[in-house]
Chain A
Amino acid sequence: MRTVALPRPIVLFTSCFAFALPFLVFQDTASARVKLITLPVRERVEIQLDNPHATLVEEERIVPLVKGENQVDFSWANTQIDPSTIVFRVISPLGDQQLDVKVLSVSYPPGEAALIWSVGASSSGSARVRISYLLGNLSKAFNYRAIAANDERTLVLSQYMRLQNLANEEFGSTGLWAGFGPRFLKPIGLNETKEMLMEKFRQVPISKTYTCNPQEYDYLDRAQNKLRVPMHYVLKNSKANNLGVAALPFGKVRIFIEGSGPQAGASTAFLGEDWGQFTPIDDEMKLFLGVAQDIVVKRTIDKNQTKRIGGNLYNHEIVLKYEIENFKDQPVTLDVVENIRHIRNEIRGDSGRDVQWELGRETTFPGGSDKEKTTFERAVFHAPLPARDENGNAKKVVHRLHLTLKNEW
């Protein structure tokens, strides 16, 4: 495509990016007043979104060149191209041409978002060139839509990529790739936001958990020693759970639940939303849905006995009692999580030292602590709770956690 020369401001009306090739070679670009310019159009655009912090745009154009030195102008007024990242690469000459093309130098005019490549060609002909640059204000984010089955055993997780184009530049049919998942070919308009379905994961098992953890979730009613019991959907990002293709990026998760009966899909209800944290393969994404009011946990410190070893060195025998009632119609398992340092601080203040502890014989949780999830100062137990009976009465389940805190001073 060849056109009569357009001064740069007029070019800018057609696009914020101008790519121009003067026919005549001027020694002094700044003082040139009359130019004949070709305007090679974009043949292909790829936007690489695989870097978490930057967006890379790659565009290809076919550039006609004359033998010898050629000037190729590139300008990007009103956009946030990082000029230090602009890379000009000659991909190939067109057809069977024997054309050797090299970039001789790059000149940067003062006060302009522009540069001029000086390109040497061994003979006249056209070359396919690729220009790559980082572009600001063209950003991506991820979000999810989860539709749980009515029995809350599985869900369908749809992952979307949302591309927001505030870069003040539009792109025609453009290849888009997030570093994983499918590659899209879409036009991207000015100030446009485009949401694309990345993956749809079906039959993802839900682990529905109820957890009390005074250090993390605090009390619901401190005066009555009632703990807050949040409910979570836990999704394991593994192949066995029909996920595990790639890490799940951070993003908002909107959670719905299907209704019951033959029109289940039509009566879907919104359950809530939470931020899904970055979840590597084999890790769990934990989504908070709300506080479970039907599970009541009363936590009291039943025993706090200090044993002096000598001088200012002590051991402490502590027994925590949990009175638990499940007013639900289904049996559930309650996860009881205790931060032992938090308990130590509760009974004798913070010494700043790690807490040394052992489980005592009075502990009643079945199976003891969860070995996989228990760490040096965090103990995890599981308490199965029966459903309430036919009369609506909940059975009170009582568990004790017996700890010996050693070598405290």
Chain B
Amino acid sequence: MKRSNLLLAVIITLLWTSVVPARNVDLSTVPPRNTVQLTIYNSEDLTLVRETRVVTFKQGANPLQFSWANTLIDPTSVELSFLTQPDKLDVLDTTFPHDKPHMLYWNVQSELDGEATIQITYFTSGITWSADYLCVADREETEMDLEGFVRVYNNSGEEYEDAQVRLVVGSINLVEKIAQLAQIPLKEVGNLQKKARKRLKLHAARRAMDRSEADSKAPAESAPKQIIKEGLSEYFIYTIEGTESISNGWSKRIRSFEGQAVPFQIEYRYRPQEYGDQLVRMYLLKNDVESKLGTTPLPDGVVKVFRDNGRDGLSYLTQQKIKYVPIGDKIELNLGVDPEVIFELIKRRAFRDNIWMRIGGTNKYQKVGDPRIVVEQKSEVAGWDDHSVYIQRIRNYSAKPIQVQVRRHYRGHVLFRSELNPKLHDYQTVEFQTPVPSGERTDLLFEIVVHQGYNAKQNNVTLENAELAP
């Protein structure tokens, strides 16, 4: 066993009082850890450690010393309980010596002369985990192999050998639990004092963990470990099969799931608010059983995307962060600009009409161009319509036909004229789609009419089907 910074010592002494003895000569035994379990809340830099040890008690008072120098353990979270003989063992008191900040003494009263299994639980920080994903698309770009991984980092200052590791997926739930425990509305959680918030957070985490015990069986020596996934309330818990030893400062990455021949679609999207002012190529897939996935939600993580380049090698396409993907939800991977697809917006014409003049010093308006009316000299332009005629040109030099979706956002009182069969994504955003065959060019013609000044009566986009001249 490696040197551990955590030490449980049974102090053997003739005279024990409830006060920590001030003596310089002690005799102690050090019961080793039997089991240790780590439950890692990534979003909170919080890990619940649950360890068991077998201790021999004598009848009467039994002093136990627990110390944790050079670790990141929260001293207020350390708790002792008795897994065997609980009716014959009691913690009479706990003492934190003023001169030893990383140490405590439990005074255990025993009616027993013999062994008992004790459990020590505490919270530590410095143990974190992250998820990442590897996609390798086939040459035809119709299916991909998608692997998920979890990587556990131990910077806690303590060596945890042969630990059962459980990873908690989900972040908001602790806050909800805090609200429940504090019996306050969720929105008021942020107003809690830091100390109270932390206390409730620890309490919430401990309660959640008490409800789940996962299997722990030894893996076959040449088979990858399975990661058992189970839903628990609003959490999802990954339990790594068997046990793991992760030395301090080290990290370890294990595959959490694998989907082979996962079907996906390719779509080209122009959505400047999401992807910037460029047409991007997307891989679209779903985290569901039909897509050979759907066994687990996908925690936040980085996805690396490769493609079989058809020459016995890979092409690197992109890497991007994805947010938590629930079971059944879609996964959208942005591969960036495709140099084989050229996307241009050409403004062909601009003109103004429907010009209204406001007669000076009055609230009267005259329309310009009405032959029956002479425009007052003392007047100024108060309202008009700006017309702009555009060609959205898409050239596809790739070897496959493509599907392109365009979303354009307009502010103000806008009329969108075209024969593109568009729809409104929202009140200010027009969406239209078109296929572009391989090796061909598609010109999409549309006109934007912006009602300005006095003419602006709304703040939305209206669609109008109309034939336009380029």
Interface residues of A (CB under 8 A from B): 27-28, 30-31, 46, 48, 50-52, 54, 56, 58, 67-69, 84-85, 87, 100, 102-111, 120-122, 132, 134, 175, 177, 179, 183, 247, 278, 280-283, 308-313, 353-356, 375-377, 406-407, 409
Contacts and interface: CB of A to CB of B under 8 A. Distances in A.
Nearest to A47: B313
B314 A56 contact: yes
A253 B347 CA distance: 31
Given A108-B252, A356-B352, A375-B348, A56 B315 contact: yes
Q: Which of A102, A310, A354 has the most CB of B within 10 A?
A: A310
Contacts of B389: 376
Given A58-B313, A100-B222, A375-B346, A409 B306 contact: no
Contact of A311 (B255, B348, B381): B381
A108 B379 contact: no
B368 A121 contact: no
A48 B309 contact: yes
Given A121-B222, A134-B316, A311 B375 contact: yes
> Which of B2, B315, B379, B395 counts the most chain A CB atoms within 10 A?
B315
B397 A281 contact: yes
A81 to B, nearest CB: 13
Contacts of B342: 280, 283
Closest 8 CB pairs of A and B: A310-B375, A110-B249, A120-B222, A311-B379, A354-B350, A106-B253, A56-B316, A108-B251
Contact of A120 (B224, B384, B397): B224
The prevalent SS among residues of B at the interface is: strand
A160 B346 CA distance: 33
Interface in B220-249: 221-225, 245, 247-249
B219 to A, nearest CB: 8
Contact of B348 (A104, A111, A183, A376): A376
A272 to B, nearest CB: 27
Interface string B308-345: 01010111110100000000000000000001101000
Given A87-B306, A280-B339, A51 B317 contact: yes
Contact of A51 (B132, B316, B375): B316
Given A56-B314, A120-B224, A312 B380 contact: yes
Given A48-B316, A375-B347, 15 more contacts: A27-B245, A48-B309, A56-B306, A69-B221, A85-B316, A104-B254, A106-B254, A107-B250, A107-B253, A109-B249, A121-B222, A310-B366, A311-B375, A313-B368, A375-B348
A173 B366 CA distance: 80
B355 interface: yes
A283 B397 CA distance: 12
A110 B351 CA distance: 66
Contacts of B197: none
B168 to A, nearest CB: 20
Interface residues of B, number: 59
A280 B351 contact: no
B376 interface: yes
Contacts of B108: none
Contacts of B167: none
B187 interface: no
A120 B250 contact: no
B250 A109 contact: yes
A312 B381 contact: yes
Contacts of B375: 309-311, 313
A28 B245 contact: yes
A28 B319 contact: no
A104 B244 CA distance: 12
A28 B340 CA distance: 50
A111 B250 CA distance: 9
Interface string B287-317: 0000000000000001010100101011111
21 contacts: A28-B247, A31-B2, A48-B315, A51-B315, A51-B317, A58-B313, A69-B221, A85-B319, A104-B222, A106-B253, A111-B249, A132-B314, A175-B313, A311-B360, A311-B375, A312-B380, A354-B388, A375-B346, A375-B347, A376-B348, A406-B351
A258 B356 CA distance: 64
Interface string B349-374: 11110010100100000101000001
Nearest to A101: B222
